[in-house]
Structure 1
């Protein structure tokens, strides 16, 4: 569906702000574009505009929380360069093999405005914003009362989840009316394959939406919901792309991150959660290895090999017994305290020997103190028993740092049934 000049202008301004990492301003522009479109089409929502709005809100929330860290530096740099050249890649394209988060992209039908038109549009928008500000001042009392009744306003991450969930609903409705292609999956074999089927186009957009929904829930530590959305994204990507696609590898990896922490709400123990996560890490390894076998670029092959090595380390960590891992951490702490150079199987015995040595030395010092204390008492007449009593062995348990309890964050959104 073609957009009006005003919607196109707002989208272009939002894309530029997004590329400059001004996510608050980008979300404001995209949100305004959604509002204008809905007004022009009698309340109808556009999935592409909602998706851009939700992504900007998500990146704004991530940049403030500094937990996931947002888009990788290399991915963001490429996006900015493409934006400047006017040649943006698809947000879910297979331009690289690295796991990465989404970046902004101009949507289909976006029209580049001339500088003069932009200046006029900016001036008009400022006038509209001033008018809206005046109206908000008049209605300020009612808004404050509503806020007090409903509590705090949702943050960027909560709003991102709401907008992206609405995006999901729009695309799923479109998918119901689209005609499935006659060819068997996967529908997209190469990154540069043209997509001329509406079903495949919508399916691809829906897979992107589920993927970023999973990221939002992961950021909010709503791990069951995150696992649910990543599972759906993996299913759709497996229908769209071959097994060796980097997007399939990425989906397995992200799903593993969510499953690793699905413990309390899922009714399973830590070992089971880690085993489920390990299975998908193993699939990510297989997918990357299959892709690397077909790769001819030496630098890309090297990157893939490094990624495979990191995934294998993650897999080994997940299949370890959590109690053994905790025991090893405790041994490492004790080795640091005692200065033991022993490693491996002899580490525990070395620590015991060191402790025995400390106890003996302390005991000998205590006996010596007791003898000298007796002499001193006889000479000076000091009858204080504490002065002659042997000193107790130092309590080393106070030196061991206790593990901080994990924060019990309640999820801001309930899982969809």
Structure 2
């Protein structure tokens, strides 16, 4: 798969946006970030406002590309499935529309298509955020970590202020927050893109292990998508899946199972509707087969969540049982309950203890009298 070439001399934000989207679709995240970063800088300089309406799409794809680059750099094994749903088709349609407007850009995208395309059923990688590696030198004494250093060709170390450099995830979060603000200003016209932005923000938070924020953002985006898309939407199914991943990572098992089951329900609706309207068309049959290929993965996650819950409950019950006192313990109370336990006195009623003490005192007094009266017990003078 050929990378998208981003010219350093290109100063056309529209062309750079098109190149960035094409690179993102081809999963060439490095080129996508380069193009979209430059496009955003040019537009901010042109309008003098980092919240100008023209920057919304640039920020959205810039954030998505940074998230992809972070996952790629961390070489993480993920479990969120990348599907060809409504959002993917819109990405490709937007690229095609832009290709008809820009000469240089069209040539770049045609070269990319000639060398390879993105599989619609490719898996997205889910992983933790990538951070700059730091080299720590030690001479045996305790010292603070120093910034990482790179070695030049002549062997001279060049210190880099890596600690001051924001990570890809931090930049992604910042630009997506800007995109969210702009889409909110558009009202109903920006609702669809706003929902997508919220879901991507949730994924960024999930990568950063900010689970509460991740769940809240994905849920809000999902709420909007359910209003915008039909009940067989693969976009909604994918968002339900992502929400399930967020819940499971935060060990909210019941919520995770419910989200995965909702994802399955949307996919099954899609299969049913395709089968009704397909009439044997090859493209419909291919999509049905593709969706059916996603189902086992989701079913496996549901089974894993239920098994995890059952195992956790067993461990809790075992721990509770071990902590209970037994009758074999020295001086310990018996764990058995008598048949007439329902008639036992409440803990606040100690009259039976008082009566028992009096009876014991009476027995003791009688024993003392018996000892005094017995000739055998008298000490001889």
- What's the TM-score bracket when you normalise by the shorter of the two chains? 0.5 to 0.7
Hey, what does 2:103 align to over in structure 1? 114
Cα offset, 1:254, TM superposition: 0.8
**Structure (1 or 2) with the larger CA radius of gyration:** 2
Change (3 A) 1:206 1:73: closer
Hey, what does 2:233 align to over in structure 1? 245
Hey, what does 1:173 align to over in structure 2? 185
Change (3 A) 1:16 1:309: closer
Cα offset, 1:111, TM superposition: 6.2
Hey, what does 1:39 align to over in structure 2? 45
Cα offset, 1:281, TM superposition: 1.3
Q: Secondary structure at the match of 2:164?
A: coil
Aligned ranges 1:226-375 → 2 under 5 Å: 226-262=214-250, 270=251, 273-296=252-275, 297-322=284-309, 324=311
Change (3 A) 1:34 1:260: same
Q: How far apart, CA to CA, are the structure 2 residues paired with 1:216 and 1:301?
A: 31
Q: How far apart, CA to CA, are the structure 1 residues paired with 2:239 and 2:193?
A: 15
Cα deviation digits, residues 128-185 of structure 1 (max 9, x gap): xxxxxxxxxxxxxxxx99x96x94311112111111111111111221xxxxxxxxxx
- Compute the TM-score of the two structures, normalised by the length of structure 2: 0.55
Contact 2:15 2:105 in 1 (8 A): no
Q: How far apart, CA to CA, are the structure 2 residues paired with 1:255 and 1:113?
A: 38
Q: How far apart, CA to CA, are the structure 1 residues paired with 2:86 and 2:287?
A: 20
Q: How far apart, CA to CA, are the structure 1 residues paired with 2:43 and 2:213?
A: 30
- Which consecutive residues of structure 2, in runs of 5 or more, have no partner in the other structure? 1-9, 109-157, 276-283, 316-381
Change (3 A) 1:169 1:55: same
Cα offset, 1:241, TM superposition: 0.6
Q: Secondary structure at the match of 1:221?
A: coil
Residue 53 (str. 1) matches residue 65 (str. 2): no
Cα offset, 1:20, TM superposition: 5.1
Residue 65 (str. 1) matches residue 65 (str. 2): no
Q: Secondary structure at the match of 1:242?
A: coil
Contact 1:18 1:104 in 2 (8 A): no
Cα offset, 1:72, TM superposition: 7.0
Change (3 A) 1:166 1:301: same
Change (3 A) 1:306 1:64: same
Q: How far apart, CA to CA, are the structure 2 residues paired with 1:20 and 1:306?
A: 22
Q: How far apart, CA to CA, are the structure 1 residues paired with 2:105 and 2:23?
A: 19
Hey, what does 1:10 align to over in structure 2? 16
Change (3 A) 1:275 1:20: closer
- Correspondence for 1:223 among 197, 211, 224: 211
Contact 1:59 1:70 in 2 (8 A): no
Hey, what does 2:136 align to over in structure 1? none
Cα offset, 1:257, TM superposition: 0.6
- Which consecutive residues of structure 1, in runs of 5 or more, have no partner in the other structure? 76-88, 95-101, 120-143, 176-198, 263-269, 329-417
RMSD (Å), alpha carbons: 3.8
Hey, what does 1:366 align to over in structure 2? none
